[in-house]
Chains A and B, each alone.
Chain A
């Protein structure tokens, strides 16, 4: 069965610094996708970044980048130049099974302090 594990329940960082959120996953499939979603206090689920498993190059979106280690089944999120608006819950998720099985980790609560 697919599983996604986020081992850091809470993290904090100073504004303008860099923080890395960890995620490991387990899947038996060859074709899959990985995502990071952000959930601010408004509860809206917002896509931050996605990674196709068949691509070796790490995905980047402005200040957000991932370190995708396929052999280790690791998918960490790096946030550079942290901003107060980055304060949120961050969920790692894995998608496979005909693209209908999106499995989430338990989340990491990130607090950005001024």
Chain B
């Protein structure tokens, strides 16, 4: 099993450009999450999807949108990128019956 996969691994954007970060999991997990990690800080929750068809805001949702495309896939969209969104983005998933979240390898995003 691949676990949680993310694409792309690295991306450079100009201010105002849009892009979508993709995440997929093959563990049949119900819940999926998007986090960002900034220097000197732990991960902060952007959005999550507790189950297929539902999404909710986390700590830092401004400037982002998400789509739970199906049970496997959960995408994060930046409609108009800003330099403050330069960060490393992690996707995670967990089952409905266990508490542990499993993380993808991360996407490094640089907004110029």
Contact = CB atoms under 8 A, between A and B. Distances in A.
A28 interface: no
B99 A43 contact: no
Interface of B: 31, 33, 40-45, 48, 50, 56, 58, 88, 90, 92, 94, 99-103, 105-106
A110 interface: no
A4 B42 CA distance: 10
Nearest to A104: B42
Interface in A60-114: 91, 93, 95, 98-107
Contacts of A101: 45, 58
Interface residues of A, number: 23
Interface of A: 4, 33, 35, 37, 42-45, 47, 50, 91, 93, 95, 98-107
Residue among B42, B58, B100 with the highest chain A CB neighbour number at 10 A? B42
A47 B106 contact: no
Contacts of A47: 100, 102
A105 B100 contact: no
B99 A107 contact: no
Given A35-B100, A43-B106, A100-B48, 4 more contacts: A45-B90, A91-B42, A99-B31, A103-B42
